Structure 1
Amino acid sequence: MTTASSHSARAQSFNAAAAQYAANRPSYPPALFDAVEDLAGRPLTGARVADVGAGTGIATALLHARGADVLAVEPGEGMAAQFRRSNPGIPIVRGDGNTLPLADASVDLLTYAQAWHWTDPALAVPEALRVLRPGGALALWWNTDALDVPWLADAARRMGRHFAVDVPAEQRNVNPRLIDPSGRLDFSERVVRWSRRVPVDTHLANLGSHSIFLVAEEEHTAAFLAEERRHLLQVFPDGIAEVTYDVKLLVARNA
């Protein structure tokens, strides 16, 4: 399988796992949206926002709750269907960041939560600049594991060995030079740490909703998750995991 076809297969893999994704993926802390407002230089309340790669609407719903006039943009049929079930009052259109279904200079804020790494920056950067109003901003963020926490670092190493990868896409792609190779965007960066306490099985189901698991052979994935469950119950014998995340946020304003 070529790199391009592998990337496409991973991007499309979420559609069959949309319910699992919605039920188990982590949310985002209020401090993240405070940071978005600070770096964008405007409040979310009343802002016209397009949330691209909205998935099941985890970030979209939080933007809506902050008072934004938000439109979701999602390419996947399965994810969009789950979005509509979870967020019936928020509009959603089908599309992606490479060819945004939005008018020129139509939004104050363009957001990508866990989604920019599925775009082609050579296409997505000009599209972002096209649809942003003067003074608008592009905000990208990723929930990443806090790898200074020993059990998370150990888990990441086990996953890397099992799936023959160095680090997950969310860790690997939070780099302004990769996000915008053209250098047209001037990003400000912020890291927001937060944590959640969830059953070990919820944490494992979250892991299983990532594309590296979804495209692997079922037996290969099941073997890892079973062994990982054994490791985690040694760390968390009460069955409740304390999972710490660093949200990596990048915001670039449109001149």
Structure 2
Amino acid sequence: MTTSTRAHSFNAAAAQYAENRPSYPPALLDAVEELAGRPLSGARVVDVGAGTGIATALLHARGADVLAVEPGAGMTAEFRRRHPGIPVVRGNGNALPVADARADFLTYAQAWHWTDPARSVPEALRVLRPGGALALWWNTEALDVEWIAEAAGRTGRFLGIDLVAEKQKAARHTDLADPSGRLRFTRREVRWSRRVPIDTHLANIGSHSAFLVLPEHRRTAFLDEERAHLLNVFPDGIVEETYDVLLLVAVTLTP
């Protein structure tokens, strides 16, 4: 299964993605501002890989002047439906459709790993103003929570993925984000949680690319089994998901 196939899988599930994916806590944007050394309010922000606009809407609500960049037709259409007042253009981080030195912030929520750093790092440096900040973040599962670790084990066995190893790999994103070393990232983790119905939790799982590319009958069978496991832990049908948001921020040099 190619990376491109997985990346494009979101377009057919854009509404499911928008309805069920977790957002991000206010403390995350507080940390972005702290590490960047400037507020988002009034800043020019380019949000790349914007998807359906989950992070873009939060940046806009902070008072930022946001331009969203999204490669997928389906995701862009869902973005426009949900956020008609925020501009969005088609494009990706490897070749940004943005003028030189336009942005105070360049943000990637759950999206930097879809880029090629050999191309996306120079593009970030081109688009950011001197002293501008590149901010990358990912919601990651809090595997120290017992039920989450057990669920991750089941999911990993089903997909043939060692999710604990993947979490450990994510911990090295500081190096992997820019193998060339041109950017110096500061790392922060922000823990938060949300309480959602089991149906929302399962739809969130099903909206990930590793599931979207599977035959529907296999995906459905796994999620039905997972529902039974979760009802043993959450008999009231409300799941408390706990996340550690991994945040990396690099500030470009001023002349």
User: What one-letter code is carried by the residue in structure 1 that aligns with 2:47?
Assistant: D
Name the TM-score, length of structure 2 as normaliser.
Answer: 0.96
Residue aligned with 1:193, SS: strand
Structure 1 stretches of 4+ with a deviation exceeding 4 A read none
Structure-2 change in CA distance of 1:43 and 1:134 (3 Å): same
Q: Deviations over 1:63-116 (max 9, x none)?
A: 000000000000000000000000000000000000000111110000000000
Q: Which residue of 2 aligns with 1:231?
A: 229
Among 183, 203, 217, which residue is 1:205 paired with? Answer: 203
User: What one-letter code is carried by the residue in structure 2 that aligns with 1:195?
Assistant: S
1:25 lines up with 2:25 in the alignment: no
Structure-2 change in CA distance of 1:204 and 1:85 (3 Å): same
Q: CA deviation at 1:245?
A: 0.5
**How many Å separate the matches in 2 of 1:176 and 1:220?**
35
Residue aligned with 1:147, SS: coil
User: What one-letter code is carried by the residue in structure 1 that aligns with 2:138?
Assistant: W
Structure 2, unpaired ranges of 5+: none
Name the TM-score, length of structure 1 as normaliser.
Answer: 0.96
**How many Å separate the matches in 1 of 2:176 and 2:198?**
33
1:112 lines up with 2:102 in the alignment: no
Is the 8 Å Cα contact of residues 174 and 187 (structure 2) preserved in structure 1? Answer: no
Structure-2 change in CA distance of 1:11 and 1:173 (3 Å): farther
Among 122, 126, 131, which residue is 2:122 paired with? Answer: 126
Is the 8 Å Cα contact of residues 109 and 137 (structure 1) preserved in structure 2? Answer: yes
Among 119, 131, 146, which residue is 1:135 paired with? Answer: 131
Among 34, 43, 50, which residue is 2:30 paired with? Answer: 34
User: What one-letter code is carried by the residue in structure 2 that aligns with 1:237?
Assistant: P
Q: Which residue of 2 aligns with 1:193?
A: 191
Q: CA deviation at 1:179?
A: 1.2
1:14 lines up with 2:10 in the alignment: yes
Q: CA deviation at 1:169?
A: 10
Q: CA deviation at 1:167?
A: 2.1
Structure-2 change in CA distance of 1:24 and 1:170 (3 Å): farther
Q: Deviations over 1:208-242 (max 9, x none)?
A: 00000001121221111111111000000000001
Is the 8 Å Cα contact of residues 143 and 170 (structure 1) preserved in structure 2? Answer: no
Structure-2 change in CA distance of 1:15 and 1:168 (3 Å): farther
What do you get for the CA RMSD once the two structures are aligned?
1.3
**How many Å separate the matches in 2 of 1:64 and 1:118?**
23
**How many Å separate the matches in 2 of 1:119 and 1:89?**
27
**How many Å separate the matches in 2 of 1:109 and 1:173?**
22
Q: Deviations over 1:167-203 (max 9, x none)?
A: 2998444512211111111000111110000001100
Is the 8 Å Cα contact of residues 142 and 170 (structure 1) preserved in structure 2? Answer: no
User: What one-letter code is carried by the residue in structure 1 that aligns with 2:66?
Assistant: V
User: What one-letter code is carried by the residue in structure 2 that aligns with 1:86?
Assistant: R
Structure-2 change in CA distance of 1:247 and 1:170 (3 Å): farther
Structure 1, unpaired ranges of 5+: none
Among 138, 160, 163, which residue is 1:164 paired with? Answer: 160
Q: Deviations over 1:2-27 (max 9, x none)?
A: xxxx1000000000000000000001
**How many Å separate the matches in 1 of 2:163 and 2:119?**
25
Residue aligned with 1:181, SS: coil
Among 42, 49, 52, which residue is 1:46 paired with? Answer: 42
Is the 8 Å Cα contact of residues 52 and 110 (structure 1) preserved in structure 2? Answer: yes
User: What one-letter code is carried by the residue in structure 1 that aligns with 2:82?
Assistant: S
What is the aligned residue count?
251
Is the 8 Å Cα contact of residues 109 and 132 (structure 1) preserved in structure 2? Answer: yes
